[in-house]
Chain A
Amino acid sequence: MGTISLKNISKSFGSTEVLKDLSVDIKDGEFLTLVGPSGCGKSTLLRIIAGLEQQTSGDVLIDNKNVNKIRASERDLAMVFQSYALYPHLSVRRNLETPLRLRDYNSFERLPLIGNLSPNKKQKTESINQLVSKTSETLKISELLDRKPGQLSGGQRQRVALGRAMVREPVAFLMDEPLSNLDAALRVHMRSELSELHSSLKTTFVYVTHDQAEALTMSSRMAVMIDGNLLQLDTPQEVYDNPSSLSVAQFVGSPKINIFKGSSDSSGTVNLLNLNLKRKSSETNLELNIGIRPEHLEISNQSDEDTFSAKVSYRENLGSDIFFHVNTEDGMNRIIVRGIPQLTHEISNGSTVNIKRAPNKALLFNQEGKRVQFNNA
């Protein structure tokens, strides 16, 4: 089992409040990502779960047991750190053995030389060796066991750090931005490996990252945190399609969602630029922020009532997609539009294009950034 419940967690450092009354329920076997910009308190939350940091108020429950007073090492969690935090003076094998030795040997057996006199030590050593070799085979690091961490590449260190967390077979893994020290290609590769590892281990993963792409690709659910508040906790698809607030919509998705200034009239008709949306807003007579993701806008040949024209200021070619940074004619909005390379390769900087929006994709937010729904009717 590996359920973790956080109940009304608050944390202050001096007078600065880092976490504000946060509650999360993490299910057994789930890959939950805590995602948010730097300084939003996600790492602090992870450290509170781990027991490395004490919350100012609130409860942490692991498998329905309150662990507020239980030390980090006795919570049966394993953590993978951003800098890997391998013991630099020990070989990879000893790095993997260390958590097991500390857990399995008693203090007498850990003594050098005379510790070997203990009758049970031999058996324990054998089981430790077995676990280490099993883990190193899973992670394909068997041939690295006798090296020191200093002799490994970034990706290899990452694996060893994972291995050190895995050997103990903990109830949950806590990962603090484990991929952010890797180069871009390796990071993408490790994402899929981590996902595979999660599905084969079936253990709870709590994963902290500032990279929304990692959160979207790997997690079964993601928790978006901004400024110490939990803004939304849902599946990646739901968070992407249906963000609860403007900040979530802006944080999730790359390139960023386009935000237009607009308003709704007394009948609820939403107006932006020269367009009217077909769906009616549930709130009338309101200044609105209308969000449309870049992939829901396209460059069109004709101009009609559903299009608006804009001037291309920058063309960002990614090979599979081209993103056009365009300015609307009134000069108020700078937006990003996705174009398909085959259809748009002739468009260059400075040209004027017509932009058409996909229907039923716009998101409404009020001035405070709260989501405003459309009328279903």
Chain B
Amino acid sequence: MQAKQYIGESWKHGILIIGAILVLLPFYMMVSMSLKSQQEIQSISGGLIGAQEVQTFPVCVKTGYSEETCTTKPYIYNYWFAFEKAPIPRYLMNGVIVTLSIFIIQVLVALPCAYALAKLRFYGREFVFSMVLFCLLIPVHGIALPLYVMLAQAGLVDTYSALILPWTISVFGIFLMRQFFMTVPDELIDAARMDGMGEYSIVWKVMLPTAIPALLAFAIFSVVAHWNDYFWPRMVITGNRDLFTPPLGIREFRGGIDSDEFGPMMASIVTVTVPLIVAFIIAQKRFIEGITLTGMK
């Protein structure tokens, strides 16, 4: 009986383990390649971290560094050279500025909208909400060109505004928060009104704190989408390297004389990915706290 149970359980775990391996394999390759030397990468040898033999890297010498600086272990070289070749901290900072600005403005817009759509009674509310749903169906790429033209006319191409402005109104955010606000009891809002809060105070002092779990879910979607976005920055940032976001920065490692030097390229990708993973782990912990926060009855 018990053995049978174990077999049934191991079945499930087997499938899950295979799925997990499939998902994690690219990450394994990424980390592994960021640590190994070019020869090891090309000959697919050396396991996870390679032999880490001290050697001189020709691309480095070609770029104009002294032979002494270019002679080191592969993992040091990969990361050092990635940071030498492209201003990665600058890109990361751009990424932080853009994603955080987008998220904050999205919240500033979406919360009052969602509150109005969920809790206020006004003529045409259902129509407005159906428009919000309709906007969910519009693919970003479909309106990219008109958006670009508008930004160009306004003279905003190659600025932070071009990266941020088009994303500040998130219909997905409005929809998600509206669905969450529907579950907040009306009595809580009435109590706040009796206590003397205005509608804006209610949004920020009552609805926002109760909506933290939903807000974190939205934050994960929003931040991941805009941190990883390659399409839009590629369109509106045409020349100014100071405005490059991390995905645009990675592109710097492609092409040119040293086109297939994968070590530093993978090292830069690791540096770009790690902040997101860390942020996600922190958010996940807060996520659970957020759920316990809503001790409503």
B293 touching A88, Cβ below 8 Å = yes
Assembled-state Cα–Cα distance A149/B209 (Å): 14
A52 to B196, CA, bound (A): 12
Chain A window 97-141, contacts with chain B (Cβ cutoff 8 Å), 1 for yes, 0 for no: 011001100000000000000000000000000000000000000
Interface residues of B in 270-297 (CB under 8 A from A): 292-297
Query: Which of these, B185, B209, B210, B212, contacts A83 with CB under 8 Å?
Result: B185
Shortest CB–CB separation between residue A51 and chain B, in angstroms? 8
Q: Which stretch of B138-146, B186-194, B220-228, B230-238 is in the interface?
A: B186-194
Are B206 and A87 neighbours in the complex by a CB distance under 8 Å?
A: yes
C-alpha spacing A148/B293, complex, angstroms? 9
Residues of A within 8 A of B195 (CB): 73, 98-99, 102, 164
Q: Would A85 and B293 be within 8 Å (CB), given that A73-B196, A102-B196, A102-B197 are in contact?
A: no
Q: Which residues of A contact B294 (CB under 8 A)?
A: 88, 150
Nearest-neighbour CB distance to chain B for A145, whole angstroms, equals 16
Q: Which of B187-219 contact A (CB under 8 A)?
A: 187-188, 190-197, 206, 209-210, 212
Residues of B within 8 A of A85 (CB): 185, 187-188, 190-191
Chain A CB count within 10 A is highest, among B195, B209, B210, B294, for B195
- Partner of B187 from the list A74, A83, A103, A164 (CB cut-off 8 Å) is A83
Asked if A50 is at the interface of the complex by the 8 Å CB criterion, the answer is yes
Question: Does A242 reach chain B (CB closer than 8 Å)?
Answer: no
Instruction: Flag whether A151 is at the interface (Cβ < 8 A).
Output: yes
User: Given A73-B196, A102-B196, A103-B196, does the pair A81, B296 have CB atoms closer than 8 Å?
Assistant: no
Q: Cα distance A81–B297 when bound, in Å?
A: 11
* Chain A contact patch, size range: 20 to 34
Check A81 against B187 for contact (C-beta < 8 Å).
yes
* Contacting residue for B210 out of A52, A79, A89, A98, CB 8 A: A89
Q: Quick check: is A82 within 8 A (CB to CB) of the other chain?
A: yes
Residue A251 CB within 8 A of the other chain:
no
Contact across chains for B193 and A72 when beta carbons are under 8 A apart = yes
Measured between beta carbons, the chain B residues less than 8 angstroms from A86 are 191
On chain B, the residues within 8 Å of A150 by CB distance are: 292-296
Contact partners of A302 in chain B: CB under 8 A: none
B195 to chain A minimum Cβ distance, whole angstroms, is 4
Measured between beta carbons, the chain B residues less than 8 angstroms from A81 are 187, 190-191
CB <8 Å contact, A79 and B292: no
For A149, the chain B residues whose CB sits under 8 A away are 295-296
B295:A77 contact, CB within 8 angstroms:
no
* Residues on B with beta carbons closer than 8 Å to the beta carbon of A52: 190, 193-194
Cα–Cα, bound, A164→B196 (Å): 13
- Distance to closest chain B CB from A98 (angstroms): 5
Closest Cβ neighbor of A147 among chain B residues: B295
On chain A, the residues within 8 Å of B194 by CB distance are 50, 52, 72-73, 77-79, 99
Chain A neighbourhood of B212, CB < 8 A? 89
The residue of chain B having its C-beta at the shortest distance from the C-beta of A90 within the complex is B209
Inter-chain CA distance A88–B294, complex, in Å, is 6
Residue of A whose beta carbon sits closest to that of B188 = A85
List the 6 closest pairs (A to B, CB-CB), nearest first.
A150-B295, A73-B196, A89-B209, A85-B191, A102-B196, A85-B187
Residues of B within 8 A of A (CB): 185, 187-188, 190-197, 206, 209-210, 212, 292-297
- Told that A79-B191, A81-B191, A85-B187 touch, could you supply 17 new A-B pairs with CB distance under 8 A? A47-B190, A50-B194, A52-B190, A73-B195, A73-B196, A77-B194, A79-B194, A83-B185, A87-B192, A88-B293, A89-B210, A89-B212, A89-B293, A99-B194, A150-B293, A164-B191, A164-B195
